[in-house]
Amino acid sequence: MAVKMHILVCGGTGCSASASHEVVTELNKELVAHDLTDFAKVVVTGCFGFCERGPIVKIIPDNTFYTRVQPSDAKEIIEEHIIKGRKVQRLLYVAPDTNESVSDSKHMEFYKKQLRIALRNCGFIDPENIEESIARDGYAALGKCLTEMTPAQVIDEIKKSGLRGRGGAGFPTGLKWEIASKSRVGEQKYVVCNADEGDPGAFMDRSLLEGDPHSILEAMAICGYCIGANKGLIYIRAEYPLAIHRLQVAIKQAEEYGLLGKDILGTGFDFEIELRYGAGAFVCGEETALIHSMEGKRGEPTFKPPFPAQSGYLEKPTNVNNVETYANIPVIINKGADWFSSIGTEKSKGTKVFALAGKINNVGLIEVPMGITLREIIYEIGGGIKGGKKFKAVQTGGPSGGCLTEKHLDTPIDYDSLVAAGSMMGSGGMIVMDEDDCMVAIAKFYLGFTVDESCGKCTPCRVGNKRLHEILTKITDGKGTMQDLEELKNLSAVIKDTALCGLGQTSPNPVLSTITNFWDEYVEHVTEKKCRAGQCKALKKYYIDPEKCKGCTACARACPVGAITGTLKNPHVIDQDKCIKCGTCYEKCRFGAISIK
């Protein structure tokens, strides 16, 4: 009897951290115990993008989507669902808007508006089984290129597709390959995959590598064929042990199957791939720094030109692309440039993967067509703002990006509209903020990150960013002046113009963009010493409501600096000049008489 059900269990980093492997063990035990191993089969897959509610278990064919599954739930899943066809209600996902459980993934708003091209195999196949990848057309595109197309034809197809780099800048991929192919013909060349992924909160590339490593290997080989390289290198941060493991397994299997190595598919084309490990510095994601790091030198950027296509790894022509960029290649070859370019906007084709995070109900990894609006992402896929609070802004592009606000909710998202709005696509971090977030503090957070990650090679970035951070700290401490706000703008402009690499050139973006969109908040911090989100501790003011105060003296006795005065049974008062905003009185008062403004 053929297997009639598959139990897909997420084996991504998020779900593994919450013990999905034990769920697998228990499910298998139960299948054996009930003599069902011929009827149902457990398959470990990559990330479903719903990591926050992991471990995820999905039942095929009915698409039932179970969240937060514990090893102890295995018995009920097998006995109720697999044997009797009854869903385990308590494990189903509950929709935030209706509060009702959702029967299957097809009815989850989170998935409805998604279009999965790069993530097509994540959460679908067993990434450690090359045959499952082959079943989903893995290596078919490579085969097609090697047997039916010339390198120039492949490059042409990629150019026609309109694919742009997903690593940040959005450079046209086909054009990049063409330049590399024409560069120093006949010499040793290299294909590099940038899997450094240093943005805080980003995990798009990690999930792709964990869930579908073969697509990346295949795309790198296709690139090698196009530009005339037979060696590929994947630069991956050492903090990604599971992605590294999956890549190692995939490379080994591809070699065994003859899909990497010598004479691939009998066409005479050779291609091999090696891994290189990064120590996790953000700047090493910049392509020149990345190349230096792979060469064993210090991971510092150098001036471009020369571009890697002219002189890259070991001074040889090198093509660097991001993981997600590569993930799109095989599909474009298989389905054609016309199909791909029918998706998206005029100048941004295809889809983009985002890591949706922050104050939103459905946190996770999503892939959406270019041109979707923020409103659709936040209120449909994301299920709205947590706790019904008011939306304030979305930060895209991480530390190099900026924020979008209410007025951008209906703007179609693509490379150009984000830049026009003062932000950028970046690698795909998307952090949602609500009324409780202070925009000055957000800018300070990103600047703090930049200051830590600056390599220190050039002065505008090393000194300038530190200075920006100091001014922001001054403002959040309630010591800022209007002069400081002018200084922020001027200094930002100088850093942007004079920094050596992309890190410094984009580091003032979070400041500039919050100044543009939330000027009032900056001014309030400076002139009224007020933080409307209540985030800047130094600007908090504690008040005692004389109507509510019973004069119990508890607060006065607890205040560490003696800022509270008053007599028994009479309303107390806080001396704002003495108060150090420690919050002790607020916690002590049993009558709710103390409020924060």
Partner 1 sequence: MNKIKNLAELRKVKEGMQSRMSMREKADSSEAIIQIKVGMATSGIASGAKETMNYLITELDKRNIKALVMQVGDMGYSYAEPTVEVTIPGKDPVVFGEVKIPRAQEIIEKYIIGGELIEGILPANYRSI
Ligand X SMILES: Cc1cc2nc3c(=O)[nH]c(=O)nc-3n(C[C@H](O)[C@H](O)[C@H](O)COP(=O)(O)O)c2cc1C
Site residues (vs ligand X, CB under 6 A): 165-169, 171, 194, 196-198, 282-283, 285-287, 320-322, 325, 427, 501-503
- Which position among 51, 77, 284, 290 is part of the footprint of ligand FES (CB under 6 A)? 51
Question: Which lies closer to ligand X via its Cβ, residue 371 or residue 399?
Answer: 399
The whole-angstrom separation of Cα 512 and Cα 504 is 14
Partner whose footprint covers residue 305, from partner 1, ligand X, ligand SF4, none (CB < 5 to 8 Å by kind):
none
Phi, psi (rounded to 5 degrees) for 102: -105, 130
Q: Does 15 bind ligand FES (CB under 6 A)?
A: yes
Contact of 308 with 299, CB cutoff 8 Å: no
Q: Which residue has the tokens 């499952």?
A: 132
Question: Which lies closer to ligand X via its Cβ, residue 11 or residue 213?
Answer: 213
The whole-angstrom separation of Cα 314 and Cα 153 is 28
- Which position among 7, 8, 13, 229 is part of the footprint of ligand FES (CB under 6 A)? 13
Candidates 31-39, 45-53, 186-194, 547-555 — which segment interacts with ligand SF4 by CB under 6 A?
A: 547-555
List, in sequence order, every residue forming a beta bridge with 272; answer none if it has no partner: 231
Partner whose footprint covers residue 54, from ligand FES, ligand X, ligand SF4, none (CB < 5 to 8 Å by kind):
ligand FES
Reduced to 3 states (helix: H, G, I; strand: E, B; else coil), residue 240 is coil
- Which position among 36, 115, 134, 169 is part of the footprint of partner 1 (CB under 8 A)? 134
> How far lies 272's CA from each of 221, 230, 234, in Å?
8, 6, 11
Minimum distance of partner 1 from residue 141's CB (angstroms): 11
Q: Does 585 bind ligand SF4 (CB under 6 A)?
A: yes
- Which position among 37, 147, 342, 565 is part of the footprint of partner 1 (CB under 8 A)? 147
List, in sequence order, every residue forming a beta bridge with 265; answer none if it has no partner: none
Minimum distance of ligand X from residue 41's CB (angstroms): 36
How many residues appear in the chain? 597
DSSP secondary structure code for residue 271 in this structure: E
Q: Does 50 bind ligand FES (CB under 6 A)?
A: yes
Partner whose footprint covers residue 12, from ligand FES, ligand SF4, ligand X, none (CB < 5 to 8 Å by kind):
ligand FES
Q: Is the dihedral of CA 382, 384, 389, 394 positive or negative?
A: positive
Q: Where are the alpha helices (DSSP H) in 263-348?
A: 287-294, 323-335, 337-341
Among residues 59, 541, 13, the alpha carbon closest in space to that of 239 is found at 13
Partner whose footprint covers residue 285, from ligand FES, partner 1, ligand X, none (CB < 5 to 8 Å by kind):
ligand X
Contact of 322 with 328, CB cutoff 8 Å: no
Q: Does 269 bind partner 1 (CB under 8 A)?
A: no
- Which position among 128, 257, 380, 498 is part of the footprint of partner 1 (CB under 8 A)? 257
Q: Does 290 bind ligand SF4 (CB under 6 A)?
A: no
The whole-angstrom separation of Cα 178 and Cα 550 is 78
Q: Does 284 bind ligand SF4 (CB under 6 A)?
A: no
Fill in the per-residue mask, 428 to 457: x = in contact with ligand SF4 (CB under 6 A), - = not in contact: --------------------------xxxx
Q: Applying CB under 6 A, what is the total number of residues that bind ligand SF4? A: 42
b/e burial code for range 239-249 (CB count within 10 A of at least 16 → b): ebebbbebbee
Partner whose footprint covers residue 166, from partner 1, ligand SF4, ligand X, none (CB < 5 to 8 Å by kind):
ligand X
- Determine whether 197 is exposed, middle or buried from the number of CB atoms within 10 Å of its CB (0-12, 13-18, 19+): buried
Q: Does 291 bind ligand SF4 (CB under 6 A)?
A: no
Q: Does 464 bind ligand FES (CB under 6 A)?
A: no
Asked, as a colleague might, if the bond just before 546 is cis with ω within 30 of 0, I would say no
The whole-angstrom separation of Cα 128 and Cα 93 is 28
Minimum distance of partner 1 from residue 13's CB (angstroms): 22
Q: Does 4 bind partner 1 (CB under 8 A)?
A: yes
List, in sequence order, every residue forming a beta bridge with 236; answer none if it has no partner: 195, 277
Minimum distance of ligand FES from residue 3's CB (angstroms): 23
Q: Does 335 bind partner 1 (CB under 8 A)?
A: no
Looking at residue 512, its amino acid is: L
Minimum distance of ligand SF4 from residue 499's CB (angstroms): 4
Q: Does 252 bind partner 1 (CB under 8 A)?
A: no
Question: Which lies closer to ligand X via its Cβ, residue 74 or residue 234?
Answer: 234
Instruction: Give the angle subtended at the CA of 510 by the CAs of 504 and 513, to the nearest 5°.
Output: 120
**Residue 318 belongs to what H/E stretch?**
strand 318-322
Asked, as a colleague might, if the bond just before 61 is cis with ω within 30 of 0, I would say yes
The 3-class secondary structure across 384-440, one letter per residue, is CEHHHCCEEEEEECHHHCEEEEHHHCCCECCHHHHHHCCCCCCCCEEEEEECCCCHH
User: Would you tell me which residues interact with partner 1 (CB under 8 A)?
Assistant: 1-6, 8, 60-63, 84-87, 103, 106, 124, 131-132, 134-137, 139-140, 143, 147, 256-259, 265-266
Binding site for ligand FES (CB under 6 A): 10, 12-15, 47-51, 54, 56
Residues at the site binding ligand SF4, with contacts judged by CB under 6 A: 283, 301, 454-458, 461-462, 499-501, 503-504, 542, 544, 549-555, 558-559, 561, 563-564, 572, 574, 579-585, 588-589, 591, 593-594
